[in-house]
């Protein structure tokens, strides 16, 4: 197993055990992250986002790493997050594919992929089923997430 694959496995183990300090150590200081909800995070906002999600995570949530692979420069992971969405109390089972770029043993870029319309169907119920595909609903999900993260980072004194 390549050392970067071990780092990916440790990352998801830390995520599952809610260890935000270990997650922060996974990233370089100038890391970039994107996914369908948080499309353009940089620097301290990356581990800050994970800290926020961990603090707000459903106590019964589970993180399952299904597959991980890595080389000296790149890595991939397929993982499943199962939790209750706090705003609606609805169960979400999100299947996510992650791509990583490493430099000097740290992640400098991470891109997570999952179908946002599928997530809105699970998290929002009927409105997500009817309108989860629409740019309006997806934009609202992104803007609310960005606003929550901005408030969290400010409260914790984290600079992006």
DSSP one-letter string for 5-67: HHHHHHHHHHHHTT-HHHHHHHEEEEEEEE-SSS--EETTHHHHHHHHHHHHS-TT-EEEEEE
Q: What are phi and psi of 105, to 5 degrees?
A: 75, 10
User: What is the pTM (predicted TM-score) of this model?
Assistant: 0.91
In the chain, which stretches have pLDDT less than 50? none
Per-residue model confidence (pLDDT) at position 145: 94
pLDDT above 90 coverage of the chain, percent: 78
In what order do the strands lie in the sheet containing 41-42? 41-42, 27-34, 106-113, 91-103, 74-84, 62-70
Per-residue model confidence (pLDDT) at position 77: 98
Domain housing 23:
3-156
Helix, strand, coil proportions of the chain in percent (round to 5)? 45, 30, 25
Q: Which residues contact 90 (CB under 8 A, 6 or more apart)?
A: 84, 122, 123, 124, 125
Check the CA dihedral 29-67-1-76 and report its sign.
negative
Per-residue model confidence (pLDDT) at position 130: 66
CA distance 160 to 153: 8
Per-residue model confidence (pLDDT) at position 139: 86
What is the domain count for the chain? 1
CATH number for 151: 3.10.450.50
What six digits make up the tokens of 152?
A: 């969290």
Per-residue model confidence (pLDDT) at position 47: 96
């Amino acid at each position: 197993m390549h050392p970067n694959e071990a780092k990916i496995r440790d990352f998801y183990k830390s995520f599952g055990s809610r260890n935000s300090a270990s997650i922060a150590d996974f990233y370089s200081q100038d890391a970039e992250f994107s996914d369908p909800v948080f499309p353009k995070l940089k620097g301290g906002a990356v581990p800050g986002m994970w800290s926020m999600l961990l603090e707000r995570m459903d106590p019964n949530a589970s993180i399952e790493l299904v597959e991980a692979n890595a080389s000296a420069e790149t890595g991939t992971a397929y993982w499943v997050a199962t939790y209750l969405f706090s705003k609606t109390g609805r169960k979400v089972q999100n299947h996510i594919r992650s791509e990583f770029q490493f430099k000097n043993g740290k992640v400098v870029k991470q891109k997570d992929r999952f179908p946002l319309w599928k997530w809105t169907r699970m998290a929002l119920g009927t409105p997500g089923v009817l309108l989860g595909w629409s740019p309006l609903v997806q934009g609202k999900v992104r803007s609310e997430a960005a606003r929550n993260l901005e408030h969290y980072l400010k409260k914790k004194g984290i600079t992006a």
